[in-house]
Chains A and B, each alone.
Chain A
Amino acid sequence: MTDTQKKSFSIWDLANPTRFLSILDKIMTPLVILTVVAFAAGLYLTFFYAPDDYQQGATVKIMFIHVPAAWLAMFAYMVMTIGSLGTLIWKHPLADVSAKAAGPLGAAFTFVSLVTGSLWGKPMWGTWWVWDARLTSMLVLLIIYLGLMALWRTIDDPIRAGKAAAILTLVGFINIPIIKFSVDWWSTLHQPASVLTLDGPKIHASILIPLLVMAFAFTLLFTALHFKAMKNEILRRRIRTMQMQAARSVASGNGAVAASRATPSGQKPATTH
């Protein structure tokens, strides 16, 4: 093997979970430090740099967490969708691990988006909630996330669960463009898009910059949590495989020693996942 071949790296190298874990171990600490620094900068800009809005007053401070949370709610679903395609088309061994790990994170950020939106809506619109297209489609997204998490828990075999969840994820993806364009397609109480528009951002730089820094910080946080959750899922599957191997040893008559080894304390036996 030449030096060039030795140094070459492809995304498919990450298909090896052991190699993936060793890369995670190297990048996790710098990623966490970068996340903390980004949040410190974002919160400083939010509270000491960004002015109050001329119409919405100080309530605009809610935007700096509400909008990034809403972005991440959709971003997490995009990650799950890519993972689902990886599971069904390329059968990448880490694709369903990635999709499963992103689920609870996406659900949490969707929840934050809904709650902070409600807390912003009451003083601005005079109501906590209205059944308009944007809010309803975000609520549907939360329900899809919860459904997917339930599906993952319902099926014992992670491979079968991954395939079933991948199909449901792809079906649920139809909701993402509905969320994004709902404010353009239907008459709604929710304000139209003001950052990602064809004509460019419609927000003044004094508010746009803190918003982008907070969005960057939230994205780093999601990435760090997602990587850690993926590592946990890989270990969980490794444990399950080892338990099943030990149980097979028992079944094939390899003795009571294997039986005593099969289930460590605090861990369910392999037959019950």
Chain B
Amino acid sequence: MFGNYAGFIIASYGVTLATISLLILWVIIDGRTQAKALAELEARGIKRRSARRA
């Protein structure tokens, strides 16, 4: 489909896809880690000052 340039084009899209996939994974995993840590703190009865006032 891309003739002699197929390797360059596929490599470009491959690198881009891999980088974007890593970024998406990073934000998802980081989000789950933070949500889990927050839930554990709250389960132990530790609340933010603003939450305690409410």
* Among all A-B residue pairs, the 4 with the closest Cβ atoms: A264-B40, A235-B34, A58-B2, A261-B44
Partner of A108 from the list B11, B22, B49 (CB cut-off 8 Å) is B22
B5 touches A123 (CB 8 A): yes
CB–CB A108/B23 < 8 A: yes
Residue A236 is within 8 A (CB to CB) of chain B in the complex: yes
Chain B residue with the shortest CB-CB distance to A59:
B5
Tell me whether A112 is interfacial, beta carbon within 8 Å. Answer: yes
Does B9 contact A267, Cβ atoms closer than 8 Å?
Answer: no
User: Hey, which bits of chain A sit against chain B, CB under 8 A?
Assistant: 18, 57-59, 61-62, 65-66, 69, 104-105, 108, 111-112, 115-116, 119-120, 122-123, 221, 225, 228-229, 231-232, 235-236, 238-239, 241-243, 245-246, 260-262, 264-267
B residues adjacent to A (C-beta < 8 A) = 1-6, 8-9, 11-13, 15-16, 19-20, 22-24, 26-28, 30-31, 33-38, 40-41, 44-50
B3 touches A58 (CB 8 A): yes
Contacts of B36 in A (CB 8 A): 266
In the assembled complex, the CB of A38 is this many whole angstroms from the nearest CB of chain B, namely 13
Also in contact, A61 and B45, with CB within 8 A (given A108-B19, A112-B16, A231-B31): no
| Contacts A/B (CB < 8 Å), 15 sampled | A58-B2, A62-B8, A104-B23, A119-B11, A123-B5, A123-B8, A225-B23, A232-B34, A235-B35, A239-B34, A242-B47, A261-B45, A264-B40, A265-B40, A266-B33
B-side interface mostly: helix
Q: In the complex the two chains form, is A65's CB within 8 Å of B48's CB?
A: no
Counting residue pairs across A and B whose Cβ atoms lie within 8 Å, the total is 107
A57 touching B34 in the complex, CB below 8 Å, given contacts A105-B23, A123-B8, A225-B23? no
Residue of A nearest to B35 (CB): A235
- Is A65 within 8 A of B8, CB to CB? no
Residue picked from B11, B22, B34, B50, most chain A C-beta under 10 Å: B34
Q: Which residue of A lies closest to B18 (CB)?
A: A112
A264 touches B41 (CB 8 A): yes
B12–A120 CB distance below 8 A: yes
Known contacts A105-B23, A232-B31, A266-B33; A119/B3 CB under 8 A: no
Minimum C-beta distance from B12 to chain A (A)? 4
Q: Which of chain B's residues has its CB closest to A111's CB?
A: B19
Residue in contact with A267 in the complex, picked from B2, B6, B40, CB distance below 8 Å: B40
Chain A residues with CB under 8 A of B22: 108
Query: Which residues from B are CB-within-8-Å of A260?
Result: 44
Distance between Cα atoms of A5 and B30 in the complex (Å): 38
Q: How far is the CB of A181 from chain B (nearest CB, A)?
A: 26
Measured CB to CB, the nearest residue on chain B to A268 is B37
B20 proximity list for chain A (CB < 8 A) = 108, 112, 221
